[in-house]
A = this chain, B = another copy of it.
Amino acid sequence: MTSSLTGAEAWSLLTLSAACVGIIINTFHGDGEPLIASLAFSGIAFAFTFSLIRWLGDTFMKAGLKGRDMSKLKKVEIPETMGAICAVVYLLTIIVFIPFPFYKDIVAATSGGGNREFVLERQYVETGRILHRFPHSKLASYLSAILSLQSVVLLGIGDDLFDIRWRHKLFIPAFAAIPMLVVYFVDYGVTNVVVPVQLEPYLGTMVNLGWLYYAYMAAIAIFCPNSINILAGINGIEVSQSIVIGFLLLANDILSLYAAPSSPSPHPATDPHLFSMYLLLPFIGVSIALWWHNWYPAKVFVGDTYCYFAGMVFAIVGILGHFSKTLLLLFIPQIINFIYSAPQLFRLIPCPRHRLPRFNPRTGLLEPSMTQWQKPPSRPVAFLLKLLAGFPLPLIRLEKNGKGEIVESTNLTILNLWLVWFGPRREDRLAIELLVMQAFCGVLGLFVRHELALWVFRQDNRG
C-alpha cells in the first residue's frame, strides 16, 4: 500500500470535507438540525479515517502491528489493528457532536432556570418539533455509551498487543459494558420487561427482572462483539458484516420514526431511535473508509479492536435504545455461527489458534480448513461426528485414517461450512455470498419485527 493519498483521492476527500463543514455551519442558522449535522460529521469522519489509514500504515508496521495475509500467493506483511484508527476518529466525532443534539436545551435551561426538563417540554410543545432534541437528562446515558465504547477500544488494543487467550478475551466486552450498566443503574434503573401475550395469564403484563435484567444486558454486550470477532478471517468480512448490520439498524430506526405518531409531544419511542442514528451514522462513515482498504485483496487488517468496537456500537444502540430483541433478529448469521462454533470454543473438538479457511495455492481458491485430532475422538463423540457428517446436509467434513478413525475434521465456522456445501471459491466471492445471506436474514428479521410483532406483544412501542 502506498502511504500517501493519490491526487484524485486527496481532492475528493477535501471536497467532501469542505461540503460537510459547510453543511454543519449551515445548521447553526435557524434551529439547527442534529440529524443533518450527524450526516455531515459522518462524511468528515470518513475522510479523516481514510487519510489516516493511509498515512499511519507504516507507523503501525514499525510498531510491530502487522500481519501476513495467509490466503494469498504472496504472503506480504500488511498493517494490523487499523480498526483502532476507525475507533479513535469515531469517538472524537461523537464527542464533538454532543452540542448539536443537546445545545438548545441549555439555552432553555439557562433562561428558564432550575427545572430543565419541564422547560424543554414546553418548548417542544410550542414549536412542534419533536424529532431532534434530547432532554438534558439523556446526556449522561450518551456519555456512558461513549465511555463503554472507549473502554472496549482500550481493551481491544490491549488484546491486539498482548494476544490474550480465548477464554479471557470473551470477557473484554463485559468489562467495557460496566460504565453503561452503572449509569443505567444510576440514571434509569428500569428493569421491567413486557410479557408476550401468550404468557400473560401466568406472568401478568410486565415482569420486573431486577438484577437479571443487568445480566441480560451484559450478555448482549458480550455476545455482539465476540460474535463478530469469530465470524472473521477472510478479507473484508468483519467490516462488511458490520456495515450491513449498521444499515439494517438504520432502516429499523427510520421505520420506527416514520411509524411514530406525529403528536406535538415527543413520543417515547423517537428518542432512542434518534440516539441510535447519531451513533450509527458516523460508525458507518468510518467503517466504509476501513472497508475500502480491507476488502479483497486487503491492504490492511482490521484487528480484534475493530470487531469489539463494532459489536459494542450495536450492543449499546440496542440496549440503550431498548430494542435489543430487534437487534438479535439482525444477528441471525452470527448467532448460528456462534452456536455452530461452540463445540470448538468449549474444546469438545480441538480448536487451533486460527480457524480461517485454507488457501489452496494451486487453484487460488479457499477450501474448508481442518483441525487435527491428536488422538482419535472417543466412541460417543466419533458417533456424533459421523452423524453430523452423514446428515442429508452435512454439517462437518471428516478425514479418516486407514483404521477408520477420525484424524481431521473441518473447523466449525459458517465460512468453512459454506465451502463444504458449495465447494471451493475465491475469497471475495465467499465474502459476497455470506454478506448477501446476512442482508437477506436481516431484512427478514426487520419484517418479523415490524409486521409480526403484534402476534407476540400486545402493544408495539411505536405507538
Residues of B within 8 A of A183 (CB): 98, 139, 143
A211 to chain B, nearest CB (A): 13
B144 touches A110 (CB 8 A): no
Q: Is A64 in contact with chain B by the CB < 8 A criterion?
A: yes
- Which listed residue (B91, B92, B140, B151) contacts A143, Cβ 8 A? B140
A287 to B424, CA, bound (A): 56
Interface residues of A (CB under 8 A from B): 59-60, 62-65, 88, 91-92, 95-96, 98-99, 102-103, 105-106, 110, 114-118, 136-137, 139-140, 143-144, 146-147, 150-151, 153-154, 157, 161-162, 175, 178-179, 182-183, 185-187, 189
Flag if A186 contacts B115 (CB, 8 Å).
Answer: no
Q: Is the CB of B189 within 8 A of A110?
A: yes
Q: Is chain A's interface secondary structure helix, strand, loop, or mixed overall?
A: helix
Given contacts A64-B64, A106-B187, A117-B114, contact A95 B178 (CB under 8 A): yes
| Closest residue on chain B to residue A115 by CB atoms | B115
Cα(A65)–Cα(B161), bound, Å: 10
Residues of B within 8 A of A62 (CB): 162
Please tell me if the beta carbons of A95 and B139 are within 8 angstroms of each other in the complex. Answer: no
A24 to chain B, nearest CB (A): 15
Task: State whether B186 touches A99 (Cβ < 8 A).
Answer: yes
- Could you list 23 A-B pairs, sorted by A, with CB under 8 Å? A59-B162, A63-B64, A63-B162, A95-B178, A95-B182, A96-B178, A98-B183, A102-B186, A103-B186, A106-B186, A106-B189, A114-B117, A114-B118, A115-B117, A115-B118, A140-B140, A140-B143, A143-B144, A146-B179, A150-B150, A150-B151, A150-B154, A157-B157
By a CB distance below 8 angstroms, the chain B residues around A175 are 92
Contacts of A110 in B (CB 8 A): 189
Q: Is the CB of A161 within 8 A of B118?
A: no
Contact of A99 among B91, B115, B157, B182 (CB under 8 A): B182
Q: Is B117 touching A186 in the complex (CB atoms < 8 A)? A: no
Which listed residue (B115, B118, B186) contacts A139, Cβ 8 A?
B186
Q: How far is the CA of A189 from the CA of B116 in the complex (A)?
A: 15
**Additional A-B contact list (6), CB under 8 Å, known A98-B186, A99-B185:** A92-B175, A96-B178, A98-B183, A136-B137, A143-B143, A143-B179
A140 to B140, CA, bound (A): 5
Say how far A430's CB is from chain B's closest CB, in angstroms: 33
Inter-chain CA distance A62–B140, complex, in Å, is: 39
Contacting residues, chain B, for A189 (C-beta < 8 A): 106, 110
Report yes or no: A88 in contact with B154, Cβ–Cβ below 8 A.
yes
When chains A and B are docked, how far (Å) is the Cα of A62 from the Cα of B146?
A: 31
Complex: how many Å from CA A21 to CA B162?
30
Q: A92 vs B151: C-alpha distance in the bound complex, in angstroms?
A: 9
Which chain B residue shows the least CB distance to A186? B102
A265 to B284, CA, bound (A): 49
A96 to B178, CA, bound (A): 7
Distance A98 CA – B147 CA, assembled complex (angstroms): 13
Q: Measured between alpha carbons, how far is A154 from B92 in the docked complex, in Å?
A: 12
